[in-house]
Structure 1
Amino acid sequence: MIGRIHWWTVILVGVIATIWIIPVLGIVVTSLRPPSEVALGWWRLDTFSITFSAWIRVWDEYPLAQAFWFTGMLAALATLGTMLLAPVAAYAFHFLKFPFRRLLLILIINAFVLPQQVVVIPLFTLWRDLKLIDNIAAVLIPYIGLSFAWSIFLVKNFLEDFPKELIEAAKIDGCGPISTLRHVVLPNATSPIFAVGVLQFLWTWNALLLPMLYLRSMQPLPVLLTKVAGTYESNWDLRSVAAIVTTIVPLIVFVIFQRQFAAGSQTRTGAKE
């Protein structure tokens, strides 16, 4: 039975929520007010007018729709690839026996401490030699590869408590490793797989460094956001519009899949819910 919530808990949560909401409110108001009013402070109400000129200008001057579609495609492919490969790799490392299994797992997990900046130059040299600069594969492969460290660890951590009786029963019924993975493990591991998918989507949607370096003609929204910022003028209204467009999809995805994400990050049993 859930105990009664203390009044100070409600106040504390309200204060924290207000602190988080104020910057978001400021971005929305800045995108809808003229620059002359924003320069005096977006919170001032002595002169208040609403205009959609910033939204119209961003849509007319920048390839917003094209960047939005490309970002969605890139994030969807990277998320799908990670959700397909991470459970397979975690299953292999946990249930199968093969040479250098523990060494390979240690090398993959150690990628946790490997910053992206370390692999930028070697990857650029490799993609240039393979003529993959300005190719979607130049960012898609690192997106999936660099996510293996945490995604395999997350799914494997879930499989630590997976009922081994189910695996043994599948073997008795004549199932091989692939059949066991397909019919026994995956149907009971949807929570961590969804958690991996949400994290991967959020990361790839907001990624800036790799697309900025490896892509030329097609550029995602975070790269376009850097171009909206003017060199000799602040363009706070245009930046606010670009920030709203960039963050709206990850916010919707997180709201829709927050229950699966929470279940995947907290579940420690292999029992199907």
Structure 2
Amino acid sequence: MPANAGALGSFIRDRRDQTTPESVGLPVGVRRRAPGLRRSELATLAGISVEYLVRIEQGRDRHPSPQVLRAIGDALRLDAAAHEHLRTLAMASSGQCVGPYSSGRDVRPGARALVEQFEPGVAVLGNRLGELLVHTSTFELLARPVGLLDSAEPSLTAYVFLDPRSRETFPDWDRVADDLVANLYRGPNAGASRQLIESMSARAGSEFTDRLTRHDPPHGGVWRWRHPDAGELRFDVEELELPAADNQQIQVLMPADDATAESLDAMRRRRSGALRAV
């Protein structure tokens, strides 16, 4: 059974527990032991049998059709992001690659050149495992002092779960950790994700493994960094998907306020001054 086989079922159970009867148009009725939907209610709303829903939730049926997934998602009133996450978890649970097979580590010259076009902005090319493959010089000014680039093969996932400095770097540490684990189900391929999940489970313990059953879609919103020289920095993040065969993304971090923009400018000026002094 794939390592991610229970992901789909636990996500559906969690969302069922969080969905109240009145929110989907059902009468509240008699007092309940739990506030969420019963299996029978979700099955009726989705137009499937209770027995089939049980098999999906228990991970015994890992190949529900797109139509069944859509029906379950609609019954739970999932938004577009959660619908996509449901589809992604279904593919991961069945052992399929979410995208074409790729190590997710080989960077094409064209992709490398694209990152360079974001200079002097803050941009980094990585994959769903959290591996940081190419970055701009300003990203280095942001990440080098906090230790994120200490490794010869830097990984945001390893840094967040294994390096105690990460809790100081990211004031919203729990949110960053949640998003990194959610991304593991999205690629770059099932084998690579499974290998990292096994490794991180052994090395990071419950802080990592407890998140494997949450399956919340990435939070989005402002990403806060705490820099040793510049203080707190706030970024809006845009993610650009590269061609599917690459299984890589470019994240562009844009200042979310004037104070962050001014701090970045000051960091760049200090770097330029240091280069001139040399």
Task: For CA contacts below 8 A with separation 6 or more, give which structure has more relative contact order.
Answer: 1
The structure in which a higher percent of residues are helix is 1
The structure in which a higher percent of residues are strand is 2
Q: Verify same fold: TM over 0.5.
A: no
TM-score, normalised by the number of residues in structure 2: 0.24
TM-score, normalised by the number of residues in structure 1: 0.24
